[in-house]
């Protein structure tokens, strides 16, 4: 079998094709799972229902995953966000680099304020990135 064909088996039942790629980002760690639609529905019914047809928040394409917004989490706002795979990768790379550049010897309030600002920067970066990606594909 061609390993690049995307015919990976479901991580849970190992019988069907894992056509649903779930990318969860927890504490900056990416964990990717391939599940078949059945197992996806069993493991996370709300996620499956919500991801089904949900658009990527940045480019509007079909979302491949729903995950907790890492930066939102840091400023005390927990909510699920939907993103397509390329946007997820781009964003988490950008966030990781930006986080490293943040000063750590500051008060909790300053830190939260920095995260808030970073979130804005990330959104601006993603909008620009999506725009450039669209131009590139034409």
Considering only the stretches 44-52, 74-82, 83-91, 112-120, report the one whose residues sit in contact with Zn ion under the rule CB under 5 A.
83-91
**The Cα angle at residue 107 between residues 24 and 117, in degrees rounded to 5:** 55
User: Smallest gap, in angstroms, from Cβ of residue 120 to Zn ion?
Assistant: 18
- Give the number of other CB atoms < 10 A from CB of residue 71: 20
Examine residue 42 and tell whether it contacts Zn ion (CB under 5 A).
no
23: nearest Cα among 35, 12, 13: 35
6: left (phi over 0), alpha (psi -120 to 50) or beta: left
Specify the residue, 63 or 98, whose C-beta has the smaller distance to Zn ion: 63
Task: Please tell me whether residue 54 binds Zn ion under the rule CB under 5 A.
Answer: no
Terminal Cα distance for the chain, rounded = 33
Q: Is 82 in the site for Zn ion (CB under 5 A)?
A: no
Distance CA 37, CA 103 (A): 43
> Of 42-50, 79-87, 104-112, 118-126, which segment contacts Zn ion by CB under 5 A?
79-87
**Which residue lies nearer to Zn ion by CB, 10 or 54?**
10
| 12 touches Zn ion (CB under 5 A) | yes
Q: Where on the chain is the footprint of Zn ion (CB under 5 A)?
A: 10, 12-13, 16, 36, 39, 56, 58-59, 61, 84, 87
């Amino acid at each position: 079998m061609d390993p690049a064909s995307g015919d990976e088996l479901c991580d849970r039942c190992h019988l069907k094709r894992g056509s649903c790629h779930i990318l969860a980002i927890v504490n900056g760690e990416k964990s990717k799972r391939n599940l078949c639609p059945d197992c996806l529905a069993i493991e996370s019914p709300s996620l499956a229902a919500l991801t089904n047809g949900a658009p990527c928040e940045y480019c509007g394409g079909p979302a491949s995953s729903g995950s907790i917004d890492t930066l939102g989490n840091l400023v005390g706002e927990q909510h699920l966000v939907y993103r397509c795979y390329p946007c997820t990768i781009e964003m988490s790379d950008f966030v990781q680099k930006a986080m490293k550049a943040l000063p750590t010897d500051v008060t909790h309030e300053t830190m939260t304020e920095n995260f808030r600002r970073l979130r804005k920067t990330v959104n601006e970066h993603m909008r620009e990135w999506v725009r450039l990606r669209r131009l590139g594909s034409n």
